[in-house]
Chains A and B, each alone.
Chain A
């Protein structure tokens, strides 16, 4: 029952955090200097037009009414304007792009598969590579294997992913045309094309990100290997593979998983640099385009979506955690 209480508490506090972020984003983006109606109205904008656009978007209301409509929209949907010209934005309404004439939720749903394909594929690769090399480095501590892996990881950590991505495109798409230079093919249309377009971004992102996982896994493994229970295990005559694999690794992985959840969650909200380098129209490009077009509703909607993903990822990690290590359910 304590587990259930814990999960419920975490769920409520996560929702609360998302709500606070939503309010903050609203205050920063809608209340600050910019005038959303002016932006949507376009260049030759008469005062009469501006007033109509304002009324349509609801920006002629006092700020608290706007905030209320915005928050309510997330849970219950909202309608802009009245009568024949009314625009319905179904729940969860993260805003409505008056430029693209689409609810932000729809835009996000269209782009999400692209970003998710990049993020999940790369994440699977980097966790395998990172944990594998990290354990190897810890087990072979202070040998040339360890030094080589640590040197490689120091290089990886210091390399900007977009630079490596650009160099990879030059080498593997132009000099030796093995991979396409960019673009995205939906899985449903052509699975092989989907795979071949994603392989290069996956590898680049995975190798760069694996570098920090190597280091953390190594640090955690070394820390675990010095604990008393490992010594007990060894003195009982357990084979080294059991000591490392079943005992040390299991405990060392807990913090690695936390970081993994955070990283994957934030990448799912928009792999901006990768999408830009490999010309993929994911959430990151949606965001960049909306900066260029000053599409405020899309900006706020996709930022909120990205923030919520991280919170959800955290929640999932914490819940998994509470099963692996029930001690966390005690206490505040």
Chain B
């Protein structure tokens, strides 16, 4: 179980914002934690999956996609802020996220 620090949160936020800025071909300043992933950024599930892959590699996470899928169905995210929070939970709890 990883310890989430302010530095981790800033790091995750930066990765998420940079990712969406590049994918959506917009300036990172145009994205905020309140941005709606679908209606504001035209995001989709495959983008979410790609982000998970990025974090799995970066933090060497032991988590199955199916586990994240089961968690996400019960805890859907709409905004960039909620997505950042979910990524932090994934980093912190890995495969135990379903026990939350």
Report if A and B associate in a common complex: no
